Amino acid sequence: MSEPLLEVQDLKKWFPIRRGIFSRTVGNVRAVDGVSFAVGAGETFGLVGESGCGKSTTGRTLLRLIEPTGGKITFEGRDVRKLSRTQMRAMRRQMQIVFQDPYGSLNPRYTVRQAIEEPLLIHGLASSSAERERRVAELMDTVGLSPSRMNRYPHEFSGGQRQRIGIARALAVSPKLIVADEPVSALDVSVQSQVLNLMDDLQKQLNLTYIFIAHDLSVVKHISDRIGVMYLGKMVELAEADDLYAEPLHPYTQALLSAVPVPDPDAKRDRIILQGDLPSPANPPQGCYFHPRCKDAMDVCRVKAPEWREVKPGHHVACHLYDEERGGSTWQTS
């Protein structure tokens, strides 16, 4: 990875908790609490975690669909948070998003043509109606839909087909980066694989960069080059996809991987079953956020938050098990 396309430093999104008639802020829900990563051009960066870990919020703050509370987002060398509204609108040509819900993300009152045409109109990307129609047909073709159906409404399409429409709409502005927020979670397995293959093909054809957000580890592992694991608003581990699977360092990642049901009745299962539930992000535990559920928790974990460090080339983790004063190389022996 030479020059990153997108760089995120210490990204924060705190949602204030307001009480009383004067809406006094009594606390903050730390949905995203200091997340840093970089994504190279043409790469797929996977963001994985359980509900409430802040992965979706992270995706949306990158596009400023939700305004971040703190941190720095650099896209092609430009500070995204400093852009004016007009500049941000122009920037949206470069960064697009595909949503999870293939039902809710398309306006039921727009035909497929209108939906895909909308970005062309907003950004003045096609001068005439005929040209727009040609472009819509081309985009539908790209995502594997028959252009003859462009005047139909979304409800006439299946979930997988709607997700293709959503992708075509995002592609209309020829973006460089697409944030895919759980794009296949609502789909059946056989359809899910169709959409994943399509996203793969498009990436190769159009040299797209993806940030792929999902809770399904096998899906993220399949599509991503590198993966970041989030827990309670923080990034706990980041590594190459194969590395992360072969050698998960953070106890949470280990538990998460071991919990995935394997479609093989004879698979060996040394499952780590996590105790308890996710703590509230409004009132996270002291020290390492994961320590109350961690099988390897030590005294230091209860008082001090672990540092984010690179323990192997390209493999980052935030865990006291890998502190330098403890040798910093536990991963070699485990």
Tell me which stretch binds other proteins (CB under 8 A): 7-15, 32-40, 213-221, 308-316.
213-221
Region near other proteins per CB under 8 A, out of 4-12, 31-39, 215-223, 324-332: 215-223
Q: Which of 189, 205, 268, 333 binds other proteins (CB under 8 A)?
A: 189
296: contact with other proteins by CB under 8 A: no
DSSP one-letter code for 66:
S
- What is the crossing angle of helices 159-171 and 112-122, to 10°? 20
Q: Does 69 bind other proteins (CB under 8 A)?
A: no
Residue 326, interface with other proteins (CB under 8 A)? no
Query: By CB under 8 A, is residue 268 in contact with other proteins?
Result: no
- For residues 286, 290, 291 and 294, what is the CA-based torsion angle, rounded to 10 degrees? 170
Residues in 115-134 at the binding interface with other proteins, rule: CB under 8 A: 118-119, 122-123
Name which of 133 and 216 has its Cβ closer to other proteins: 216
Of residues 41 and 173, the one with the C-beta less far from other proteins: 173
Q: From 6-14, 70-78, 210-218, 308-316, give the range in contact with other proteins by CB under 8 A.
A: 210-218
Query: Parallel, antiparallel, or unpaired: how do β-strands 234-240 and 226-231 relate?
Result: antiparallel
The interface region with other proteins, picked from 33-41, 205-213, 262-270, 296-304 by CB under 8 A, is: 262-270
CB of 255 to other proteins, least distance (A): 6
- Does the footprint of other proteins cover residue 332 (CB under 8 A)? no
Q: Map residues 131-150 to x or -, x wherever contact with other proteins holds by CB under 8 A.
A: --------------------
Taking CB under 8 A as the binding criterion, the range among 71-79, 129-137, 260-268, 283-291 that sits at the site for other proteins is 260-268
The amino acid that residue 254 corresponds to is: Q
Is 11 near other proteins (CB under 8 A)? no
Query: Which tokens belong to 243?
Result: 């590395």
Instruction: Give the count of beta carbons closer than 10 Å to the beta carbon of residue 78.
Output: 13
Between residues 259 and 297, which has the closer beta carbon with respect to other proteins?
A: 259
> What single-letter DSSP state applies at residue 82?
G
Kindly tell me which of 134 and 269 has the beta carbon lying closer to other proteins: 269
Q: Closest Cα partner for 115 from 168, 160, 158, 63?
A: 168
User: Per residue, what are the HEC states of 154-207?
Assistant: HHHCCHHHHHHHHHHHHHCCCCCEEEEECCCCCCCHHHHHHHHHHHHHHHHHHC
Residues 6 or more apart from 174 whose CB is under 8 A from it? Answer: 93, 206
283 interacts with other proteins by CB under 8 A: no
How many amino acids of this chain bind other proteins (CB under 8 A)? 77
Return the closest-CA partner of residue 39 out of 259, 224, 214.
224
Pick from 285, 233, 288, 289: which is nearest to 31 by CA?
233
CA distances to 247, 310, 311, 330 from 326, in Å: 19, 15, 12, 8
Minimum distance between the CB of residue 324 and other proteins, rounded to whole angstroms?
Answer: 29
3-state secondary structure of 120: helix
User: For residues 234-253, which are near other proteins according to CB under 8 A?
Assistant: 242, 245
Binder of other proteins out of 1, 17, 65, 303 (CB under 8 A): 65
In whole angstroms, what is the distance from residue 219 CA to residue 276 CA?
Answer: 26
In the complex, the smallest distance separating the C-beta of residue 170 from other proteins, rounded to whole angstroms, is: 8
Q: Does 106 bind other proteins (CB under 8 A)?
A: yes
